[in-house]
Amino acid sequence: MTLLETIKSPHDLRKLPESRLPELAADIRAAICAQVAKSGGHLAPNLGVVELTIALHCVFDFSFDRLLFDVGHQCYPHKLLTGRLPMLPGLRTREGMAGFPEPRESPYDLFSVGHAGTGISTAVGMARGDTLAKEGFDPKTNPAGRRVVTIIGDASIANGVAMEGLNNAGTLKRQFLVILNDNGMSISKPQGALAHYFDRVRLSQAYADLKKSAKEALTHMPGGRRIKGALHRATEATKAAVSDSNWFEHFGLVQVGPIDGHNFQSLLEVLREARDTDRPLVLHVKTIKGKGVTFAENDSSRFHSPSPFTVDGDLAEEGCRVELKSEGRSFTTAFGEAIVSLMERDPKVVACTAAMPDGTGVSKALAKFPERSWDVGICESHALDMMAGLAKTGFKPFLAVYSTFMQRAFDQAFQESALQGLPVRLCLDRAGLVGGDGAVHHGFCDIALLRTLPKAAIMAAMDEPSLVAALEFMRQYEAGLSSVRYPRDNVSDRFAGSPCPPFQLGKARCLTPGFESFDADLGSPTPDVAVLAFGTCAITACEAAAELAAELRVAVWDARFAKPVDAELVQELAARKVPIVTVEDHGVVGGFGSAVLDAAAAGPHPCPSITRLGLPDAWIYQDSRGRQLAEAGLDRASLVKAFRAAAAASDARV
């Protein structure tokens, strides 16, 4: 039995002698690495916070005190220390442990979080709430009260919400600890002036030189050997005064550090002092992303959130070989190549991402066109505003961002792009259901948000040729904002042998031969069911239609546009009284199906039977993408049943 297996709760952890903590840290790293190799997940971020997490649970009692994570993908060690080791084999599935903090799992998780920048603000709220309830810690009036700790890292400190939180945290009149986990990385290399500032602090020799000189001097002083033992504690508390500058103190917070985030003695000593302070404090902790696993340390971007992998050799050895399992050609890869092709053909095309160059495929553009592409860090709102500025100067900006993170920049999409009539182009990766990352990352509301914007052109790609065609349409679309969405999935080759027609504003593409025209003179048949599918759902709809070919005439269209929808097609189907089924990997509330309903209601014919299939008005938690689609009724078997039901209901009405 490993030492980790004996830890059922932080209460067991606090019984351990400090000398055994490195052994526990090694067990945690081994357990995380072994599981992520099987299931995929966030590896390097979690390896980097093992000692920090152990130390926090040694010093604080988070069954009573408050611990809030920012981003959340650094929570695996926390979960293993709070009784969830038995859930680790089911990591990122419904039966097992979520990859982000999840209050449904444990009272030790206070918020379900996967977006950056929010931790400080929610912690401020809890600190104020505890104070109002007379439960907050105060060294004089309530020494048994609750403490509040929030961990922020992976460069999310530069996020605008984090800045707002810091600004308000400085007004607190009580204990409040912000731990800056500074690993010198974001998801990839951090960007911006603030990142450069922390680089200077990390590299500064001022503190190290002072500490070395002081130790040498103390050796020759009367009583110096006794004083020398207290030097570490004293210098850690004053380190901010000898570093480059006290940046956080401009927000009204005391700054301590940087300290070594992998040294238990330093961590425990400073955390014990910080635990009992009576004012807001920032502890700057220097860690190594991927710590303890050589390949993750050497390539922490690649192993930030890898797919399953195999390891040949010792994890801690430099020579071990790692092979990521191949998952086929992804939409992300297809987009990365397509945007480079656009930039090669059109010098006005520029590209941007917000801390996700690898995750969105923009890394290819950054490498080939560094002067026309940017990674702005975890700053989606700034990114969209910057793209609007580029559009104003005549460039053709493409912003590649996960659908779930685009939500954070909707105000900029409205005001700086749509309202100005500026053609900012949004490329929404990870649209729809995202699999193991779960509810915090699903892209379920981008259509509903963007449909509200006048002159917006809202598209979806069903495969690689349609993604390329959509990007070409966007390059030429100048009337307003445009977007294309595509999932975290591999591209289908079902239509690889068929030419992909160019996108035409508000026009769908028929995917089932024989139903391209409704011209009765040409003998065009009337389908039993018409399926308008948005995005990759069109591929699944074609599979379901093929399965029903012997009993029903199911016509499938790749809708292409959610705004403007193909109103002419919808109204022609209404005129023929053909039942319509809409299919989308998006929430049914305000999505593509709602747009079809609007188009049908606006036409001259009675509204036909319209069945809307999409994500339900409920949360869908972590699991494989395939199982999530089945849960939402969007897999092939579910579509077969839905198409049959739509045809039967229409027959009953007749």
Residue 137 is predicted with a pLDDT of 96
pLDDT tens digits along 420-466: 999 999 999 999 999 999 999 999 999 999 999 999 999 999 999 99
Residue 154 is predicted with a pLDDT of 63
pLDDT tens digits along 621-637: 999 999 999 999 999 99
Q: What is the DSSP string of 506-555?
A: T--EE-STT-S---GGGTPPPPSEEEEEETTHHHHHHHHHHHTTTT--EE
Cα distances (angstroms) measured from residue 40 to each of 292, 308, 532: 18, 4, 34
What is this structure's pTM? 0.87
Cα 498–chain centre separation = 35
Q: Which CATH number is associated with domain 509-653?
A: 3.40.50.920
Closest CA to 439 of 622, 280, 287, 269: 622
Asked if the domains at 61-73+99-204+243-289 and 509-653 fall in one CATH topology, the answer is yes
Q: Which residues are catalytic?
A: 289, 380, 408
Q: E strand or H helix at 595, and its extent? A: helix 592-601
- The arithmetic mean of pLDDT across residues 161-176, rounded, is 92
Q: What is the DSSP string of 243-303?
A: SS--GGGGGT-EEEEEEETT-HHHHHHHHHHHHT-SSEEEEEEE--TTTT-HHHHHTTTTT
How sure is the predictor about 202, in pLDDT bands with cuts at 50, 70 and 90?
Answer: very low
pLDDT tens digits along 514-562: 888 766 555 678 999 999 999 999 999 999 999 999 999 999 999 999 9
Determine the topology of domain 61-73+99-204+243-289 in CATH: Rossmann fold (3.40.50)
What's the mean pLDDT when you consider all of the chain?
89
Domain boundaries, the chain: 61-73+99-204+243-289, 331-485, 509-653
Q: Is the confidence at residue 410, as pLDDT, over 90?
A: yes
Flag the least confident range among 121-135, 175-189, 207-221.
207-221
Determine the topology of domain 331-485 in CATH: Rossmann fold (3.40.50)
